[in-house]
Amino acid sequence: MIALFIIFLILVGVLSGSMAVILLKKAASKYPLRQLFFRRIFWEGVVLFGLSLLLYVIILQREELSVVYPLSSISYLITTLLSVKYLGEKMSVWKWVALGGVMLGVTLIAIGS
C-alpha cells in the first residue's frame, strides 16, 4: 500500500522534526532572543527543522495527505516522550488524553481529506 521507503522517510522526518524542537526549546530557554543567532544549539535545531520540512515536501510529492497526516501525528507523541526524557517535563492522565485527542483529530481530518 505504502512503500517501505516512504515509511522510512516519514520516520526520519518525524524524528528530526521532534529533535529539532527539543533543541530549539533548550536554546530558547537558556539564551535571550538576540543571542540565539550566535548559539550552536539553536542552529542545530534550525537545520534539523529544515531537514524535516524538506523530507515532508518530498513525501507529499509521492503520497496523499490522508496517508501522511496520521503518520506525522506520531510526531506529537514522540516530541512529548522526548520532552519527558530530555527536558524533564511531567505528564498527567489528562495531558495524555489531550494528546490522544489531538492525534485522533488529525487522523479524522486525514480521513476527510
Contact positions vs another protein (CB under 8 A): 21-22, 24-25, 28-29, 33, 36, 73, 76, 79-80, 83-84, 87, 89-92, 94-95, 97-102, 104-113
Under 8 Å between Cβ of 69 and 111? no
* Shortest Å, Cβ 31 to another protein: 9
* Shortest Å, Cβ 40 to another protein: 16
Give the C-alpha separation, 25 to 96, whole Å.
20
* Shortest Å, Cβ 4 to another protein: 27
Q: Which is nearer to another protein, 5 or 101 (CB)?
A: 101
Q: Which is nearer to another protein, 12 or 70 (CB)?
A: 70
Give the C-alpha separation, 86 to 67, whole Å.
30
Give CA angle at 108 (106, 113), nearest 5°: 95
Q: Which is nearer to another protein, 2 or 104 (CB)?
A: 104
Q: Which is nearer to another protein, 3 or 85 (CB)?
A: 85
Give the CA-trace dihedral at 11, 49, 74, 63, to 10 degrees. -60
Give the C-alpha separation, 100 to 95, whole Å.
9
* Shortest Å, Cβ 38 to another protein: 14
